[in-house]
Amino acid sequence: MEVKEMENQTSQKNRKTKKVKQKNTDNKKIKIKNIFAFIIVSLVFVIVLNVLFGRGKTTITATSTLTKISEISELSTAEYTYNGIAVKYKNDKEKKGNEEYYVSYEGKVTAGFDFNEITIEINKKSKKIYMILPEIEINNVNVDIGKLDYLKVKKTPESGESQNAYKLCKEDLENDIRNDTDFYNTAKQNAENTLIAFMNPWINNLNSDYTIEFKTKEAK
């Protein structure tokens, strides 16, 4: 009898423990469900807030004010169009493996001389008009700052770097063109052709016995 009672008590205890365990499991499930629900609601909330407030739009405005005008007299007779690539080295130490980024650019170089510096000498005996031209110089080295394109090697160029990249490209372009004799010769030849085409009809009308000869002014 006592044994039976004890068995009953044990089975009742077991049932109770099972019930408590079941309840705990149910509670855990509810908790997990609640956490998931909270995460989902939070995500939806963040997305809604982002849609409402996080527009991510970029706008650019610009103003330009004319500050100064100066008179010049540059005759450009040859133009070189360049598509080049300049390299930015870390701490400007030029060596392989030290590249920070590459920057590609579109540039134009023009050469010619100061039109106001042409000297004309007329020799009435030999019927010659000497046009003494200044030496050919580089008039403009222009890099289109709006078309700079970057290729990262070690470091993504940061904002504020465009002015350094621009100077780098101009330097690169100047270095390449400085010693190009073909370019200077083309500029010189075309300067003479331009002046002949312009002056010849006038000279022929004035006195067709006269011919033009070109000389180059010695560099100062």
Q: Which residues contact 172 (CB under 8 A, 6 or more apart)?
A: 84, 85, 86, 105
- 153 touches other proteins by CB under 8 A: yes
Please pick, from the candidates 130, 145, 196, 214, the single residue that binds other proteins as defined by CB under 8 A: 145
- Fill in the per-residue mask, 32 to 71: x = in contact with other proteins (CB under 8 A), - = not in contact: --------------x--xx--xxxxxxxxxxxxxxxxxxx
- 95 touches other proteins by CB under 8 A: no
Other CB atoms within 10 A of residue 169 CB? 25
- 115 touches other proteins by CB under 8 A: yes
Please pick, from the candidates 17, 22, 42, 73, the single residue that binds other proteins as defined by CB under 8 A: 73
- 91 touches other proteins by CB under 8 A: no
**CA distances (Å), 94 to each of 97, 99, 166, in order?**
9, 8, 18
- 205 touches other proteins by CB under 8 A: yes
Residue numbers 157-196 binding other proteins by CB under 8 A = 157-163, 165-167, 170, 176, 182-183, 186, 190, 193-194
**H or E segment and range at residue 178:** helix 162-178
Smallest CA-to-CA distance from 214 within 189, 197, 181 is with 189
- 125 touches other proteins by CB under 8 A: no
Smallest CA-to-CA distance from 78 within 175, 187, 161 is with 187
